[in-house]
Structure 1
Amino acid sequence: MNAARGKFITLEGGEGAGKSTVLNAVRELLAAHGLDVVVTREPGGTTAGEAIRGVLLDPTLHGRIAPETELLLMFAARAQHVRETIVPALAAGRWVLGDRFTDASYAYQGGGRGQPDERIAELERWAAAGLQPDLTLLLDLPVGVGLERVRGRGPADRIELEAHEFFERVRAAYRARAAAQPARFRVIDASRSLDEVLTQVRAAVTDFLAVNAARGAA
């Protein structure tokens, strides 16, 4: 008997949203429910993807990568990620927990860089094989709050060197996608205390698990 397909959960959000802490909390919650969890990230998730990540985040390349190049590099890493890591794990019945996926391209390369949504959608269909998450947690907070949080945590990468206005466009694009796809997205107020954020996250994931269990029993 073949294993039931696993589920794909992603975390999205701008700089300083606290994705790493939330990722660990979600992983622990899923594991507590007896689920086999694969944790991954973008750009990255494979040997080739991590090499591309190094290029994309290299601060010495700030202002020297065209928006089109950035978009294609993101999807080059994603194409490998989907085929090597995500799809095989889901097919084996494992649950995949990802730090960012294609929504990030609509936000950063679309909203931030001005790349057309239709161009990103075509790459999503082809390079990402049309794969979409089953649940996306959007950690939303004001841009100024997020940038203040990341200040001083280490040298800025190429993306973190962008202007405040860039991140405002990224946030607006994320919020627009969440509003357009309410069945998939859960918007988390990441400006609140860590305990309050984790309470929101655990409630959203627990609700998703309950709905998934009910569907499986039907």
Structure 2
Amino acid sequence: MTFEGIGGSGKSSAIGRAEQWLSGGGIGVVRTREPGGTPLGERLRPLLTEKSEGHVPLHRTEAFLFEADRAQTFDEVILPALREGHVVLSDRGEYGTVAYQGYGRDLPIDLIDRMTAFATLQRRPDLALVFDLPVEVAMARRHRTPTTDRFDHERLAFQERARQGYLFAARRDGVRARVVNASRAADEVFDEVKYHIVDVLRSCNYQSQMTEQLL
């Protein structure tokens, strides 16, 4: 399961609550993030997210590095966790590359799709939660909690393109994706998150007795 959305959407707070909620219900959970889910990813993360004069990667380099991080995370974290029967929660996933490098940087979506399929061995998440809200609201939230992530410091037009990229990724994915109105209070948002997670776990017949006890 991936938690997707622009900076300030509340996805990181929601994934933390989801991890505690599922673990408290007896569900085995593995939490990861993009970039940075592995030791290699932690080395790539500052190259991708931190502002550094004279060291900003080319747009296509950026895309390759995100896919490299994704491939490593799939082999080292996600696939082993799934084999053990755990639920995997990822703070961002493939939608982020469509949103930021595709819509934001204007790289070809079909190329990004092929790169992602190769990186993930064509495995897809069972659920992609897209936390959507107006860009202005997200930016106001980020101002209350300053960040060094250079994507969060991009101009308003870039942030809006990224938001539209997330919505595009959700639309074309059908029932796999659920768009969550992230403008609401955190508790209200999380109630919806729980509903979607339980719905997907039921559809996957995942430990049915534990799943029914979650709500």
Question: Is TM > 0.5 for Structure 1 vs Structure 2?
Answer: yes
- 2:205 counterpart SS class: helix
Distance 1:147 1:20 in 2: 15
- 1:209 counterpart SS class: helix
Q: What is the aligned counterpart of 1:150 among 134, 138, 142?
A: 142
Aligned to 1:14: 6
Q: What is the aligned counterpart of 1:180 among 160, 172, 188?
A: 172
Match status 1:41 vs 2:8: no
4+ residue runs over 6 A deviation: 214-217
Match status 1:139 vs 2:137: no
- 1:188 counterpart SS class: strand
Match status 1:89 vs 2:81: yes
- 1:106 counterpart SS class: helix
Distance 2:59 2:167 in 1: 21
Aligned to 1:108: 100
In structure 2, relative to structure 1, the CA distance for the partners of 1:167 and 1:92 (3 Å cut) is same
Aligned to 1:204: 196
In structure 2, relative to structure 1, the CA distance for the partners of 1:116 and 1:62 (3 Å cut) is farther
In structure 2, relative to structure 1, the CA distance for the partners of 1:87 and 1:214 (3 Å cut) is closer
Report the aligned-residue RMSD. Answer: 1.9
* Cα distance per residue 1:85-107 (max 9 Å; x no partner): 11111112111110011111011
Distance 2:140 2:111 in 1: 33
Aligned to 2:111: 119
**Which letter maps to 1:102?**
E
* Cα distance per residue 1:18-72 (max 9 Å; x no partner): 1121002211232233211001100010000011001111211588321001001
- 2:179 counterpart SS class: strand
Structure 1 segment 25-104 matched on structure 2, within 5 A: 25-61=17-53, 64-104=56-96
Preserved CA contact (<8 Å) 1:111 1:170: yes
Larger helix proportion of the pair = 2
Q: How many pairs were matched up?
A: 209
Identical aligned pairs, as a percentage?
38
Q: TM-score, normalised by structure 1?
A: 0.89
- 1:154 counterpart SS class: coil
**Which letter maps to 1:189?**
N
Q: TM-score, normalised by structure 2?
A: 0.91
User: Is there any run of 5+ residues in structure 1 with no aligned partner, and where?
Assistant: 1-8
Distance 2:147 2:122 in 1: 35
